[in-house]
Amino acid sequence: MAFEGLSDKLQDIFKKLRSKGKVTEQDVKIAMREVRLALLEADVNFKVVKDFVNRVRERAVGQEVLQSLTPGQQIIKIVHDEMTELMGGAESKLHFSSRTPVVVVAVGLQGAGKTTSVAKLATTLIKQGRRPLLVACDIYRPAAIKQLQVLGEQIGAPVFSMGESNPVDISKASVEYARGNNRDIIILDTAGRLHINEELMGELKDIKSAVQPEEILLVVDAMTGQDAVNVAEAFNSDLGLTGIVLTKLDGDTRGGAALSVKAVTGCPIKFVGTGEKLDALETFFPDRMASRILGMGDILSLVEKAQASIDQEKAKEMERKIRQQEFTLEDFLEQMQQLRSMGPIEDLLGMIPGMGKQFKKMKGDFDEKEIYKIEAIIKSMTPGERNDTSIINGSRKKRIARGSGTKVQEVNRLLKQFEDSKKLMKQFTDLGGKKGKKGMPPFKFPF
């Protein structure tokens, strides 16, 4: 999970502060020393750490903080504000001028996930009602053009290519093609290198001069830490970047790049990659990310994910079924698949205030792979069995177990826990909004 190590350490530091009725200047000094170490261990740029800690300390030792009724909370708010400012202050949106087509150039080194990020960005723009054209300007990497064409087909976006022609000529021709084919935005997938060199930068400068892009987005791998920041600094000085796309943020437990890149380069993070799927690209919100790091959750992002993934009409129908005791394993399977489409459960729980820590405590008893096992069991049932579990006898259970690669005991456990869940739902609907009854059995997910 992103920022896991840093988040744990910072939450532990501020837990000590919150437990104190009165906070002294010495307490703040000790806490800031621990914060500094936590940030350095998270691979945050040392100059950024120094400036950040100094700003927080300066604000935290003020009279109105130390003498307030909740000094610990006040200091956490200061850290949240400063961390938000460190990462850019506010969301940085793509700039769309009145000129059509809008030109976006994606640049970066090989291996950062540039081509995939181009497809992810196009997916996001399609959802916003845009008509993107993907342009294959990487003529050097084997199969780069084919990869972009395959991704374009998957998301329903056309790909413009001219084989191994000069990338500058390709970029110019793509603008004319977009104008003639009703495409309002073009995204150029440019060539990368294993390292920065004059040849790479020269080609990118020529492309920039030829098409005058509104956006030059650098795609960097968050897991490379300070190397990502150094790469961003080099590209920015030569090209004048307008934004950064951080890939593989879901696998970066430290977070040094995300916390350093804006302060070092002055260039805002616009998007973050949070998974391998083509819809796993999120707009970067500095304030929401700061809240996640400090264990405050991110309810807004969770709601947005739910709205994007869950069909409202189906949700209403599901509510009706629960109220009228018509909820079946078929419905449960559908709900589980919708939940999975929102992302890893660990990440979703991390967006709920206080749940990140709780999840870690119970993690030893929880294996997300169990969800796939339950899905396999339900899919091994006939439609009749899913809709009426009472017909599932011993021989049917054996067949279901064989079909799902599980044991009969696991099928029995799923059926029992599903029936327990239905009883619980009935108790809730019977309450009719009244206060709960004593002795109500605890709810258990069947995994």
Tokens standing for residue 376: 């396999």
- Could you tell me if residue 447 is inside a domain? no
- Could you tell me if residue 374 is inside a domain? yes
**Domain shared by 79 and 174, yes or no:** no
**Domain shared by 309 and 288, yes or no:** no
Q: How many folded domains does the chain comprise?
A: 3
Q: What DSSP designation does 165 have?
A: S
Do residues 223 and 181 lie in contact, with contact meaning Cβ atoms separated by under 8 Å?
no
What is the percentage of the chain residues whose pLDDT exceeds 90?
33
Tokens standing for residue 95: 């700039």
- N-term to C-term CA, the chain: 21
Tokens standing for residue 109: 């080194």
**CATH number, domain containing residue 234:** 3.40.50.300
- Could you tell me if residue 191 is inside a domain? yes
Picking from 273, 297, 321, the residue at the C-terminal end of a domain is 297
**Domain shared by 397 and 421, yes or no:** yes
- pLDDT bracket for residue 51 (50, 70, 90): very high
**Domain shared by 136 and 241, yes or no:** yes
- Could you tell me if residue 97 is inside a domain? no
**Domain shared by 245 and 310, yes or no:** no
What does the alpha-carbon distance between residue 135 and residue 133 come to, in Å, rounded to a whole number? 6
Picking from 28, 58, 86, the residue at the C-terminal end of a domain is 86
What does the alpha-carbon distance between residue 38 and residue 49 come to, in Å, rounded to a whole number? 10
What does the alpha-carbon distance between residue 90 and residue 266 come to, in Å, rounded to a whole number? 13
Picking from 240, 270, 297, the residue at the C-terminal end of a domain is 297
Which residue spans within 147-214 are E strands per DSSP?
159-160, 185-189
**Domain shared by 388 and 256, yes or no:** no
Cβ neighbours of residue 375 closer than 8 Å, sequence gap 6 or more? 333, 336, 337
**Domain shared by 108 and 47, yes or no:** no
**Domain shared by 136 and 249, yes or no:** yes
- Could you tell me if residue 93 is inside a domain? no
| pLDDT tens sequence across 122-167 | 999 999 999 999 999 998 888 899 999 999 999 999 999 998 889 9
Q: Which domain holds residue 71?
A: 4-86
Cβ neighbours of residue 274 closer than 8 Å, sequence gap 6 or more? 2, 249, 250, 280, 281, 282, 343, 347
Q: What share of the chain is helix, strand, coil (3-state, %, to 5)?
A: 60, 10, 30
Give long-range contacts, CB 8 A cutoff, 24+ apart: 170-175. Answer: 170/135, 170/136, 170/137, 170/139, 171/105, 171/135, 171/137, 171/207, 171/210, 171/211, 172/210, 172/211, 174/133, 174/135, 174/211, 175/101, 175/103, 175/211
pLDDT value for 351: 59
Place of tokens 């590209």: 235
pLDDT value for 229: 84
**Domain shared by 68 and 132, yes or no:** no
- Could you tell me if residue 248 is inside a domain? yes
| pLDDT tens sequence across 316-349 | 776 677 667 777 888 888 777 777 666 666 666 6
- Could you tell me if residue 437 is inside a domain? no
**Domain shared by 358 and 236, yes or no:** no
**Domain shared by 248 and 269, yes or no:** yes
What does the alpha-carbon distance between residue 447 and residue 445 come to, in Å, rounded to a whole number? 5
Most confidently predicted of 190-194, 361-365, 432-436 = 190-194
**Domain shared by 293 and 310, yes or no:** no
CA distances from 215 to 154, 180, 224, 363 (A): 24, 22, 24, 42
**CATH number, domain containing residue 414:** 1.10.260.30
Distance of alpha carbon 385 from the chain centroid = 37
pLDDT value for 212: 92
- Could you tell me if residue 130 is inside a domain? yes
E strand or H helix at 240, and its extent?
none
**CATH number, domain containing residue 12:** 1.20.120.140
pLDDT value for 446: 42
Cβ neighbours of residue 125 closer than 8 Å, sequence gap 6 or more? 132, 185
